[in-house]
Amino acid sequence: IKYGLADRLFALMEQGDLDFAFVDAIEKNSILSFDEVYQEKLVLCCTKKYMATIEDKDINKKNIQKMSFITYFDDARIVLGWFKQSFRMSNINLYVSVYSKDAQGVFACIKNSMGFGVVPLHMTVEDRDELIIINPKYGTYRNKISLAYVEEKLENPLLNVIHQSFIHKFSTMTII
């Protein structure tokens, strides 16, 4: 089992060092195939402690520029995508206080009251009493999770059974 960002997992699969990966990105022009297995709901949240430090709590472009954000990538595409989908806002200037390599890092910073961040809803369940989750105005932002694999490898009966088991398991699973 390997844990990592999609680019690293794709490279391992293309080298033959990994048979399957659950990823939230799809690589075009690749030897890889993808089956979407579920969509996770992404939420913008912060701690109650952080929210108490903000004077005007209204979510608008002017106020957003005064807030701190924690993002996965230096281009803040996840946070910007959330605002575009959930509030129909674009061309936002964000103050990014922390960059993290993954959702766990973003959530750790959120829990330490370092700002707002976008994380999968299921990560927030245990900490709901300490968090403020911003309700979208227009629609829920979702992250598509796919099972990545090399199609040719499914000719191996064992790998084919594993692939089918993954697909069956996720098709019957309830995800928050």
Instruction: Give the whole-angstrom CA distance, residue 109 versus residue 111.
Output: 5
Mean pLDDT of the chain: 90
- Amino acid, res. 137: K
Residue showing tokens 């913008």: 44
**8 A C-beta contact, residue 143 and residue 24:** yes
pLDDT for the residue numbered 83: 94
pTM over 0.75: yes
Sequence-ordered alpha helix ranges (H) in the chain? 6-14, 48-51, 61-64, 77-87, 103-111, 157-171
Residue of 131, 120, 68 whose CA lies nearest to 96 = 68
Name the more confident of 3 and 20.
20
CB 96 within 8 A of CB 65: no
- pLDDT tens, residue by residue, 41-62: 999 999 999 999 998 888 888 8
pLDDT band at 29 (very low <50, low <70, confident <90, very high): low
Asked if 150 and 35 touch (Cβ cutoff 8 Å), the reply is no
Give the β-pairing of 68-71 and 95-99. parallel
pLDDT at 175 over 90: no
More reliable by pLDDT, 1 or 42: 42
Asked whether 48 and 130 are in contact (CB, 8 A), the reply is: yes
pLDDT, tens only, 132-167: 999 999 988 998 889 999 999 999 999 999 999 998
Query: Of 28-42, 106-120, 143-157, which range is least confident?
Result: 28-42
